Amino acid sequence: MKASGIKQIFAYDQAESDPEYSEIIHKRALDANVQLVQSLEELMVQSELIFSSVWGNLALKVAKEAAQFIKPDRMYADLINSTPTSKYKGAEAITAKGADFIDIAIFGPPSKQKHKVLMCVSGDGAEQFKLVMSKYGMKIKLMPGEAGKATTIKTLAKIYYLGAQALYLELATSARKAGCDIEYLLPILVNPTVNMPREDEMAFRLQYWTPAPSPDRRPWPPGHRTCSRR
């Protein structure tokens, strides 16, 4: 972020005092040209925009601790992989002190794309965050709604991706057991709507029909779609 124009960056890591991690923390701070501070309070006082990045189970705890020291009109951006409820409660603690809370959901590998990785943001400070940080090359997608909305979107996306991976694995396993080469299925998997067979080429087809009304059954609506075997 320094290369994009940010003049000064402070950081606080509780593990700095641990001999096991101190050396690597100082090396990373030096490589990134970041100034380490000695306490969370000092970080809150020195910073206009605070990024919180800790383990997911600590997100709410850290937000509440930060709320004790944060100044009004500052921005607190939570980019932790936690729950929507955790983000919502964290926002309550921060906004009660007059500061803005931004719920950030990251879509992509920060290790490769750095601060230019795609982010979805929500919360009362989302618009201001996008206005400020877009100038430094951040790719920010604004999600209207309270804190927790961006995290909810990421959770739903994760359900889809994990479900798709499980489905592909099950398909490959079934194809192998059936003695079929998975390569034959790739055209359908890659572009299913283009490469799907026509209805008249399939083992079953869809037909439109309107059955005659009967006294004991309500008639199907016109154009009702049903499936029939050949």
DSSP assigned state of 122: E
Q: In Å, how far from its chain's centre is CA 120?
A: 7
Rounded Cα distance between 148 and 59, Å, is 13
Residues 139/156, Cβ–Cβ less than 8 Å: no
Residue 101 contacts residue 95 (beta carbons within 8 Å): yes
* β-pair partners for 226: 207
Confidence of residue 111 (pLDDT cuts 50, 70, 90): confident
Q: For the residues 22-34, what does the mean pLDDT come to?
A: 91
Q: What pLDDT is attached to residue 41?
A: 95
Instruction: For residue 204, give both structure tokens.
Output: 């079953």
Confirm if 65 and 38 have CB atoms less than 8 A apart: no
For residue 192, what are its two tokens?
């299913």
The percentage of residues in the chain with a pLDDT greater than 90, rounded to a whole number, is 50
Per mean pLDDT, which range of 6-10, 78-82, 224-228 is the poorest? 224-228
- H/E stretch holding 216 reads none
CATH architecture, domain 49-183: 3-Layer(aba) Sandwich (3.40)
Q: Could you tell me the residue ranges of all domains in the chain? A: 1-38, 49-183
The CA distance from 119 to 201, in Å, is 44
Rounded to the nearest integer, the mean pLDDT of the chain is 82
pLDDT at 167: 84
User: pLDDT category, 108, cuts 50, 70, 90?
Assistant: confident
Give the tens place of pLDDT for each residue, 58-102: 999 999 999 999 999 999 999 988 999 999 999 999 999 999 999
Is the confidence at residue 225, as pLDDT, over 90? no
pLDDT in tens, 149-207: 999 999 898 888 888 888 888 888 888 888 887 777 776 666 554 544 454 544 444 44
**What pLDDT score does 190 carry?**
60
Query: Per-residue pLDDT averaged across 129-152, rounded?
Result: 93
Burial class (CB in 10 A: 0-12, 13-18, 19+), 29: middle
Cα separation, 32 vs 113, in Å, equals: 15
**Based on the number of CB atoms within 10 Å of its own CB, is 225 exposed (0-12), middle (13-18) or buried (19 or more)?**
exposed
Place of tokens 């951040």: 138
- Judged against a pLDDT cut of 90, whether residue 211 lies above it is answered with no
7 has pLDDT over 70: yes
- The answer to whether residue 56 scores a pLDDT higher than 60 is yes
What pLDDT is stored for residue 191 in this prediction? 56
